[in-house]
Structure 1
């Protein structure tokens, strides 16, 4: 009578844990012993029950270990995937931060150039305005009857200096606002990375389940 092991026996045999295959081999060897003429059937039956129980325990233990191994392998794959994802996210954030820095540098250069132009314009206007007025000759009186009034140079320079300071403060305020926006964007990018890590950190603490 031929032994029918079913379809795909080779693949099914190789899929089971090695310890389980050894148990099957030991059981087959024990069954073959009962076919020998010199075997004492009664003694064989007495030991067979104990041998079967031992085989069941070995098989159960082998599958528990196999399950733990598969869970650990899955955990490692998830951990590697998480680390790769974090690495890609950090690379994206680094590129984003660099782009922000380049944009901030460009804006700072433009604002610096604008401030320099404002100062140059102020210096030119100061020179033009001061050239229009001359110091009154000593001892000369103001002639109100003709509607002429000489404006002191110090008053004109003080007014122009006030305008210059105001424009410089406005330019510096624009620069500070740009820096504040840049820092806020970097802070948000860092917070997003922290949230992402916390959200996926449970994968690294997963324990095998039996």
Structure 2
């Protein structure tokens, strides 16, 4: 009589837990013992019944351990995939935040340059108007200041007011840009925290009483 172990026996045999393989080997060894001419069949049957019960328990324990190992491996794979996904999301958010920061830096530099040009223009206008309304030398007999419709100090005061107003408007624009950048960073951080809570088991845990 030939023993038919079926197809793919090697692969199936290697996938069986070590304790189960050893149990099968022990069962086969007992069967070989009973086939010997001088074996006592009644004693062998009693012994085999006890050994089979032990074999069943060993097999159940072995498969239970294998099942627990497979569940733990699946949990670790899922956890690793979640961590990788979170890491990728965090890296993308950091890249976006860095890009936003660079944009804000460029905008701030452009605004600073514009403000500097405005100040230079104002200073130039102040100098132009100042030179235009300078007092005549004392040697000149005619006093043209009497014919001037606007006094010098009023013109200078008006130019100073324009300069201060432009500076305040530029400072306000810069402050608004910084506030918008901070708001974007806070929104990105809140979104990441919500994502972590939704994809973890912390939200499912009941609080300790």
The TM-score by the shorter chain falls in which range? Answer: 0.7 to 0.9
Deviations 1:84-136 (A, max 9, x none): 22332232222222211211111011100111111111112222223343559
CA distance, structure 2, for counterparts of residue 13 and residue 150 of structure 1:
111
Which residue does 2:4 correspond to in 1? Answer: 4
Please state if 1:57 is matched with 2:50. Answer: no
Distance 1:104 1:179 in 2: 8
Alpha-carbon distance in 2 for matches of 1:24, 1:134: 115
Q: Which position in structure 2 is the counterpart of 1:154? A: 153
State the Cα distance separating 1:24 from its structure 2 match: 0.6
Unaligned runs of 5+ in 1: 206-210
Q: Equivalent residue of 1:4, what SS?
A: coil
- For the aligned residue pairs, the C-alpha RMSD in angstroms reads 2.4
Q: Distance in 2 between matches of 1:94 and 1:11?
A: 47
Equivalenced residues, count: 197
SS in 1 for 2:2: coil
2:178 counterpart residue number: 179
Structure 2 matches for 1:59-208, cutoff 5 A? 59-134=59-134, 150-202=149-201
Which segment drifts farther, 87-96 or 113-122? 87-96
TM-fit CA distance, 1:164: 1.0
Q: Is the 8 A contact 1:23 1:55 kept in 2?
A: yes
Equivalent residue for 2:47? 47
Question: When the two structures are superposed, what TM-score results if normalisation uses the length of structure 2?
Answer: 0.83
Give the Cα separation in 1 of the matches to 2:102 and 2:6: 69
* Higher RCO (C-alpha 8 Å, min separation 6): 1
1:64 CA displacement: 0.7
Q: CA deviation at 1:2?
A: 1.4
> What's the offset of the Cα at 1:25?
0.7
Question: In structure 2, what is the Cα distance between the partners aligned to 1:58 and 1:134?
Answer: 111
CA distance in structure 2 between the aligned counterparts of 1:200 and 1:185, rounded to whole angstroms: 23
Deviation at 1:191, TM superposition (A): 2.2
- Aligned equivalents of 1:43 and 1:191: distance in 2? 74
Shift in Å, 1:10: 1.6
Higher mean displacement: 181-190 or 125-134 = 125-134
